[in-house]
Amino acid sequence: MAIRKVGVVGCGLMGSGIAQVSVQAGFPTVVREVSQPLLDKGFAAIRKFLQGGVEKGKLAQADMEKTLANLTGTIEIRDLADCDLVVEAVSEDRALKRELLGALDAACRAETLFASNTSSLSITELATFTKRPERFLGLHFFNPVPLMKLVEVVSTLRSAPAAVREASDWCRAIGKTVVSVGDSTGFVVNRLLIPYMLDAIRVYEQGLASRDDIDNAMKLGCGYPMGPLLLGDYVGLDTTCSIAGIMFDEFREPRFAPPPLLKRMVLAGQHGRKTGRGFYDWSTNPPS
């Protein structure tokens, strides 16, 4: 089945980015949020990014307006009924996803392809919340979605090869490179990235090196675009801690266990960029 119209559920950091890259690639896209203020916030982020592209000379103003005209916001699930692909990008709450996927399953056609952008929950389990496990898979995008080139396409034991092919083709059509992954917690990227980030926090916690020296070590020593502590702030320390917790539950390996400092920072509301404070102070630009 050809994908013509795309639905995205959730217009937060990831959902807004996915909706943006979809509509920029020419797919009429509907994005659903639970409330108008959240929808407005997501649209403002998309507009800001596109405007940044105009200012950098990467996008013509007219193309920006054309792109935005193809993007529809809604707070109703039923407005996604005629989509060929629906990508779920709501927060990592199993119960929330269960309810939402059930409602989407009832609203959409049987052949509509469903994908979840979860970074740590089991795609196999999420698929059981619908009556279409053969047309359900994972599409794991990376933050910031418009700039990061990769999508992990996650198939389960029940995903139909045709569904995987259609989803992979759509990812390529929106300009992403695809890697194919089986359904295992964290897939490939987070399986490798999360223990690395947790180790950086442990090194800092043990006083082995300062924040800046840890980040500079990995930036300048390994050529990474950001050091691991800055990346933690950027991704969100709450998100990092939650993914680590889920991975620890799954694998029972100490390398996935969230370090005490990370847990304390999350409890203290120091979640990184989103709360203005993490390992860095984000009220200044660049963070200090």
Binding site residues, ligand 3HC, CB under 6 A: 49, 52-53, 56, 58, 119, 142-144, 147-148, 190, 193, 225-226, 231, 235, 239
Long-range contacts of 41-46 (CB under 8 A, 24+ apart): 41/11, 42/11, 42/12, 42/15, 42/16, 42/73, 43/11, 43/16, 43/71, 43/73, 45/13, 45/16, 46/16, 46/19, 46/20, 46/71
- Minimum separation from the CB atom of position 103 to ligand 3HC (A): 24
The one catalytic residue in 16, 190, 242, 271 is: 190
First-to-final CA distance of the chain: 49
Tell me the closest approach of the beta carbon of residue 90 to ligand 3HC, in angstroms.
14
Please give the Cα distance from 10 to 18 (Å, whole number): 10
Q: Is 190 a catalytic residue?
A: yes
Told to judge if 166 belongs to the known catalytic residues of this protein, a careful annotator would answer no
Find the catalytic residue in 122, 140, 166, 271.
140
Take residue 169 and report the two structure tokens written for it: 């083709």
* Smallest distance from ligand 3HC to CB 193, Å: 6
DSSP SS3 for 85: strand
> Tokens at residue 202, please?
């442990």
Nearer to ligand 3HC, 108 or 178 (CB): 178
Cβ distance to ligand 3HC smaller for residue 142 or 204: 142
Q: Where are the alpha helices (DSSP H) in the chain?
A: 13-24, 36-55, 61-69, 94-107, 123-127, 161-173, 189-205, 211-222, 228-235, 237-251, 260-267
- The CB-of-151 to ligand 3HC minimum distance in angstroms stands at 11
Nearer to ligand 3HC, 156 or 240 (CB): 240
Q: Are 30 and 5 in contact (CB under 8 A)?
A: yes
- Residue 24 or 156 with smaller CB distance to ligand 3HC: 24
Shortest distance, position 65 Cβ to ligand 3HC, whole Å: 15
Determine the angle formed by the axes of helices 189-205 and 228-235, rounding to 10 degrees: 120
Catalytic residue status for 271: no
Q: Would you call 209 exposed, middle or buried from its count of C-beta atoms within 10 A (0-12, 13-18, 19+)?
A: middle
CA–CA separation, 30 and 84 (whole Å): 11
Which of 33, 88, 152, 166 is the catalytic position?
A: 152
Q: Find how far residue 266's CA is from the centre of its chain.
A: 19
> Closest separation between CB of residue 6 and ligand 3HC, Å?
20
Our CB check for ligand 3HC shows the closer of 59 and 103 to be 59
Q: Which of 30/235 has CB closer to ligand 3HC?
A: 235
Q: What angle do CA 261, 266, 272 make, to 5 degrees?
A: 100
Active-site residue list: 119, 140, 152, 190
